[in-house]
């Protein structure tokens, strides 16, 4: 099945087709995704991942005013979504996938090698530990996280990786508002603030993918999705993020 997406050239689309083929093949050996039909991978994984491009392009314009470039960390990247999809769409950016599960790290390495993604790498580790490493701490322009954790937890994992002035993009479903309320204290402590909430739907994703035949019932269900964008306004204290057991045990700032 052919993949097309508004704003991507033929070579980028072909790379995403190969990415889907690798994902389907690997999924027969290791459970990487519950979505295994090519058209649904294109829509629910790739188009969904690429929804962040508008926010990233906004950051480019706000931050540089020159030729766009930057660094992005994808926290809990799993099979490389959204990180490697964004690496294909943003060849002028450096993309770092952070993943703790070995089989998913090995799969991402295979994708990077097969597609010759010179601008991407995958790090086998945990964000709450890597964020204390000077190589990663407060070095990224953008941090993304998709289907990883609640917003209060994501804020503590992601904001310490961001440069002041950077932006964190969290992919969320319709229940994000309660999570956002719980994350307010964590944002204040970590030097971040809510910048905006960007709504979108599966129907919109379908329209962006050319040549995709989608069962009409899919278009009518599970439509409401949101990008939650945090802006980092100051440095994060060195003691954050806390160890994972403490992050899970108590809400930051409570």
pLDDT at residue 200, rounded to an integer: 93
Does residue 22 lie within any of the structural domains? no
In the chain, how many domains are there?
A: 1
Instruction: Return the HEC string of the chain.
Output: CCCCECCCCHHHHHHHHHHHHHHHHHHCCCCCCCCCCHHHHHHHHHHHHHCCHHHHHHHHHHHCCCCCCEEEEEECCCCCCCHHHHHHHCCCEEEEEEECCHHHHHHHHHHHHHCCCCCEEEEECCHHHHCCCCCCCCCEEEEEEECCCCHHHHHHHHHHHEEEEEEEEEEECCCHHHHHHHHHHHHHHHCEEEEEEEEECHHHHHHHECCCCCCHHHHHCCCCEEEEEEEECCCCCCCCCCCHHHHHHCCCCC
pLDDT at residue 67, rounded to an integer: 53
Does residue 45 lie within any of the structural domains? no
CA distance 25 to 10: 23
CATH number at residue 149: 3.40.50.150
Does residue 14 lie within any of the structural domains? no
Does residue 99 lie within any of the structural domains? yes
Taking the whole predicted model, whether its pTM rises above 0.85 is answered as yes
Q: 3-class SS at 197?
A: strand
Does residue 244 lie within any of the structural domains? yes
pLDDT at residue 174, rounded to an integer: 87
pLDDT at residue 183, rounded to an integer: 94
Does residue 90 lie within any of the structural domains? yes
Does residue 130 lie within any of the structural domains? yes
> What range defines the domain where residue 224 resides?
55-200+214-249
Does residue 85 lie within any of the structural domains? yes
pLDDT at residue 175, rounded to an integer: 87
pLDDT at residue 220, rounded to an integer: 47
- Residue ranges of the chain with per-residue pLDDT less than 50: 65, 218-220
How many other C-beta atoms lie within 10 A of the C-beta of residue 229? 19
């Amino acid at each position: 099945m052919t993949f097309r997406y508004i704003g991507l050239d033929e070579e980028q689309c072909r790379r995403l087709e190969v990415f889907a083929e690798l994902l389907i093949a690997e999924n027969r050996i290791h459970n990487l995704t519950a979505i295994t039909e090519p058209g649904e991978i294109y829509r629910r994984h790739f188009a969904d991942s690429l929804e962040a491009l508008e926010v990233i392009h906004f950051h480019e314009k706000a931050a540089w005013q020159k030729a766009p470039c930057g660094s992005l960390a994808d926290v809990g990247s799993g099979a490389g979504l959204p990180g490697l999809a964004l690496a294909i769409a943003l060849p002028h950016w450096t993309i770092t996938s952070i993943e703790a599960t070995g089989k998913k790290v090995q799969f991402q390495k295979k994708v990077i090698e097969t597609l010759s993604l010179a601008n991407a790498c995958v790090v086998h580790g945990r964000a709450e530990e890597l964020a204390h490493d000077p190589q990663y701490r407060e070095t990224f322009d953008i941090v993304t996280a998709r289907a990883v954790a609640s917003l209060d937890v994501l804020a503590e994992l992601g904001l310490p990786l961001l440069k002041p002035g950077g932006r964190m993009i969290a992919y969320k479903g319709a229940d994000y508002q309660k999570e956002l309320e719980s994350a307010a204290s964590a944002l204040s402590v970590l030097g971040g603030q809510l910048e905006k909430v960007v709504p979108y739907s599966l129907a919109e994703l379908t329209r962006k993918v050319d040549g995709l035949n989608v069962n009409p019932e899919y278009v009518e269900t599970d439509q409401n999705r949101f990008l939650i964008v945090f802006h980092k306004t100051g440095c994060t204290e060195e003691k954050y993020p806390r160890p994972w057991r403490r992050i899970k045990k108590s809400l930051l700032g409570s």
